[in-house]
A and B are shown apart, each in its own frame.
Chain A
């Protein structure tokens, strides 16, 4: 494969978007958790909730910052690297992105300042309002981005006029056939991902201090959340799979490694090595008929295979196939951890079982990895199309010289590698530092009447006695 500018542009987009999604998939869920803790603190006045909120707001802030800076890149990359795509789909996707910025991006940015820095400048209720607004902003943001992405997967509500898309029905564009499934799947994924990060951190602290109230509360809460959401996610994922079968059968064929144009009694492949040249799988480990049962609710059910379309219209099968298995495998592991936690609760060994805490503390990246793997299924599975069945990716790349894209790609790889190492270093540092202790917590309580505020006020007066401020 020659490294022309089209391939380089695609690698660059894949790389930058993969890097970006790591951070929102944590912050959407984490913002929600922080809002819940702050709300519980205001309701119950139990300081452990404030401790949780205060502890997690720091990792949240650096994760959010990484998401912001890597997200701005994407909003420009459509134009820089896929100019023809931007030109023909701009009338459909541009307004969706505009609504994202108008209804979500500004909202998050506007209230984030108060959420992070306003603890002593606004009342406790107003601070809670700001935190909730940031959390809701992240959901709204996901809504619009998922709508735009889903339209590229299952385009609807459009006319093609002179090779450009125009909109016939905005309702159909936004609520296109795959959008509700993808949105629920993704939002659940972010809540699960954030819960896993909190779970792992709490477990890590419990292994050092079994009495830590903060870690106990964090572990217990996130395990309840996972117990509900992880199985629910499997169910939503199944519905999403049925939706893919209906609208993107070739993608489904790649996910399941099905080669014949039509196959009945399709086995579920636990493992295989798909061979795109020979159009078959090697080393299959299969459960007969199970794929048919899951996808058609009939052991003999018929599914479409890759040979139903020409070779040029197939995605990279091994990538889709393995990504899908990694996602599902990790999902099953998450359910297992949640159920194990429930069993340990009954014998009151939840906070002391070292095997369980050990496994839990390794669960931190599993949510992120599953999200990435899931998006590889979605995005690589859509290829060679950019707008499914209508626009081929290779036809809409900017006519840039290859060396220019190579330069920017190199810069992104260097920048992001350094920043990712830095991010992990600071996350580790913040997590190891542990929560603010309950005694000093009083000094940075929420609201203008907090003692921290008084301290600040005295300092301000004391340091500049002749201050002529307005």
Chain B
């Protein structure tokens, strides 16, 4: 396998890790306004306060892999998507500092609630907008600021917000109990429907907008080979919905839900997201900026790619190992007493 392809796949892996990991904690922020009691808000924030920093690091990792392995794509994408990136960063700033300041605040708590929720929504929406802009074709850097805003990009923006909220719900079902769990399961059921419809529409739009992408999905044997992607996604979404229904039924009957029904929805949501991402990859490969730049054209000289290779080979497995270890230390339900520093 050539090195440029390896880095293309590594970049994909980094983005997917980011979308899943920061997806669920941005999702918690998006759900914030729907949990009214301060105690519930405490609980939501406490469930992710030890992991959000590590999760967000995958965004930086994706950025630097793009910078180091595909400098011209880094330059083109980031300057072309200037405003959504800047707004996303501002959103991430507000939600990031809310973790630190909310628990230390007395009178300003309501403002940190707002900063956390609106920052998370803004960041997620901008990411969706960028996804839409990349699929529909990047505008020129010097063109008007508002060309990025189209019905399609607005739709992908809201779709990503809904998707992250779904991940957040399934994470909460896993990490919380009683009322919060019931609420998360209820919203999760609605959101999984919204997300599936949104994914179907975005997929259709992507396939229909370009003859090339259409051919990739529907010529000769391709539909048979690719059919598992949507089919497995639909099956997973259905299972997710059923698990959440069981969690709700148990809670209503006053029972503690089975831990399989509590934990599985999160992993099913991860599978749905992964399949969606693979589908996107099928449509866009080998482009980094569709219609403009492929990963082969954008690749850095081999001296740079080789230099990063030992670092990636040694440290990515190590990072995954200690990240898992960190999650294991905080495994189980979130407890509502003051714990920490």
* Residues on the A chain within 8 Å of B53, using CB: 65, 68, 109, 112-113
Convert B288-303 into 0s and 1s, putting 1 for each residue whose CB lies closer than 8 angstroms to a CB of A: 0000000000001101
Expressed in whole angstroms, the minimum distance between the Cβ of A430 and any Cβ of chain B is 7
Q: Is the CB of B67 within 8 A of A117?
A: no
Chain A binder among B25-33, B56-64, B195-203, B265-273: B56-64
Q: Is the CB of B316 within 8 A of A411?
A: no
State A90–B64 Cα separation when bound (angstroms).
Answer: 9
Residue of A nearest to B308 (CB): A95
Q: Is the CB of A119 within 8 A of B340?
A: yes
* Residues on the B chain within 8 Å of A464, using CB: 177
Q: Is the CB of B50 within 8 A of A83?
A: no
Q: Is the CB of B68 within 8 A of A90?
A: yes
A438 CB within 8 Å of chain B: no
Q: Is the CB of A79 within 8 A of B177?
A: no
Q: Which among B64, B141, B337 is the interface contact of A97 at CB below 8 angstroms? A: B64
Expressed in whole angstroms, the minimum distance between the Cβ of A453 and any Cβ of chain B is 9
Convert A116-127 into 0s and 1s, putting 1 for each residue whose CB lies closer than 8 angstroms to a CB of B: 111111100000
Residue of B nearest to A401 (CB): B142
Q: Is the CB of A91 within 8 A of B301?
A: yes
* Residues on the B chain within 8 Å of A399, using CB: 79, 141-142
Q: Which among A57, A94, A398, A407 is the interface contact of B300 at CB below 8 angstroms? A: A94
Give the size of the chain A interface in residues (CB under 8 angstroms).
Answer: 88
Residue of A nearest to B14 (CB): A101
The residues in B between 317 and 341 inclusive whose CB is less than 8 angstroms from any CB of A are 319, 322-323, 326, 329-330, 332-333, 335-337, 339-341
A78 CB within 8 Å of chain B: yes
* Residues on the B chain within 8 Å of A452, using CB: 339
Q: Is the CB of A69 within 8 A of B93?
A: yes
Q: Is the CB of B60 within 8 A of A105?
A: yes
Residue of B nearest to A466 (CB): B256
State A122–B330 Cα separation when bound (angstroms).
Answer: 10
State A70–B100 Cα separation when bound (angstroms).
Answer: 14
B75 CB within 8 Å of chain A: yes
Q: Is the CB of B96 within 8 A of A65?
A: yes
Q: Is the CB of B82 within 8 A of A95?
A: no
State A93–B145 Cα separation when bound (angstroms).
Answer: 29
A106 CB within 8 Å of chain B: yes
Most buried by A among B81, B86, B335: B86
Residue of A nearest to B48 (CB): A113
Which secondary structure dominates where chain B touches chain A? Answer: helix
The residues in A between 432 and 470 inclusive whose CB is less than 8 angstroms from any CB of B are 452, 455-456, 459-460, 463-464, 466-470
Q: Is the CB of B61 within 8 A of A106?
A: yes
Q: Is the CB of A58 within 8 A of B341?
A: yes
Convert B59-99 into 0s and 1s, putting 1 for each residue whose CB lies closer than 8 angstroms to a CB of A: 11101111111111011111101110111011011101101
State A115–B53 Cα separation when bound (angstroms).
Answer: 13
Residue of B nearest to A120 (CB): B339
B259 CB within 8 Å of chain A: yes
State A161–B303 Cα separation when bound (angstroms).
Answer: 13
Q: Is the CB of A468 within 8 A of B56?
A: no
Expressed in whole angstroms, the minimum distance between the Cβ of B262 and any Cβ of chain A is 9
Q: Is the CB of A113 within 8 A of B341?
A: no
Q: Which among B87, B92, B329, B337 is the interface contact of A118 at CB below 8 angstroms? A: B329
State A98–B64 Cα separation when bound (angstroms).
Answer: 5
B258 CB within 8 Å of chain A: yes
* Residues on the A chain within 8 Å of B54, using CB: 106, 109-110, 112-113
Contact (A54, B59) CB under 8 Å given A91-B301, A109-B53, A109-B54: no
State A117–B56 Cα separation when bound (angstroms).
Answer: 18
Q: Is the CB of B101 within 8 A of A72?
A: no
Convert A75-111 into 0s and 1s, putting 1 for each residue whose CB lies closer than 8 angstroms to a CB of B: 1101111011011111111111111111101110111
State A78–B53 Cα separation when bound (angstroms).
Answer: 22
* Residues on the A chain within 8 Å of B263, using CB: 470
Q: Is the CB of B311 within 8 A of A94?
A: no
Q: Is the CB of B256 within 8 A of A109?
A: no
A404 CB within 8 Å of chain B: yes
A3 CB within 8 Å of chain B: no
B49 CB within 8 Å of chain A: yes
* Residues on the B chain within 8 Å of A110, using CB: 54, 319, 322-323, 326
Most buried by A among B74, B101, B105, B304: B304
State A88–B304 Cα separation when bound (angstroms).
Answer: 13
A224 CB within 8 Å of chain B: no
Contact (A97, B68) CB under 8 Å given A79-B74, A80-B79, A112-B53: yes
Most buried by A among B49, B76, B256, B339: B339
State A452–B338 Cα separation when bound (angstroms).
Answer: 10
State A242–B290 Cα separation when bound (angstroms).
Answer: 50
Q: Is the CB of A400 within 8 A of B67?
A: no
State A444–B292 Cα separation when bound (angstroms).
Answer: 57
Q: Is the CB of B67 within 8 A of A86?
A: yes
Expressed in whole angstroms, the minimum distance between the Cβ of B54 and any Cβ of chain A is 4
A309 CB within 8 Å of chain B: no
Expressed in whole angstroms, the minimum distance between the Cβ of A151 and any Cβ of chain B is 13
Q: Is the CB of A429 within 8 A of B104?
A: yes
Q: Is the CB of A79 within 8 A of B67?
A: yes
Q: Is the CB of A404 within 8 A of B75?
A: no
Q: Is the CB of A92 within 8 A of B304?
A: yes
Q: Is the CB of A99 within 8 A of B78?
A: no
Q: Which among B82, B90, B100, B144 is the interface contact of A61 at CB below 8 angstroms? A: B100
Q: Is the CB of B303 within 8 A of A91?
A: yes
Q: Is the CB of A117 within 8 A of B71?
A: no
* Residues on the A chain within 8 Å of B89, using CB: 72-73, 76
18 interchain pairs (CB within 8 A)?
Answer: A62-B101, A65-B99, A68-B96, A69-B92, A90-B74, A91-B303, A99-B308, A101-B60, A105-B60, A116-B341, A118-B330, A167-B307, A398-B141, A400-B142, A408-B82, A415-B90, A422-B101, A469-B259
- Interface residues, chain B, with chain A CB atoms under 8 Å away: 49-51, 53-54, 56-57, 59-61, 63-72, 74-79, 81-83, 85-87, 89-90, 92-94, 96-97, 99-101, 104-105, 141-142, 144-145, 177, 255-259, 263, 300-301, 303-304, 307-308, 311-312, 315-316, 319, 322-323, 326, 329-330, 332-333, 335-337, 339-341
A170-B303, A468-B257 known; 4 new pairs, CB 8 Å cut-off, are A61-B100, A79-B74, A90-B70, A102-B311
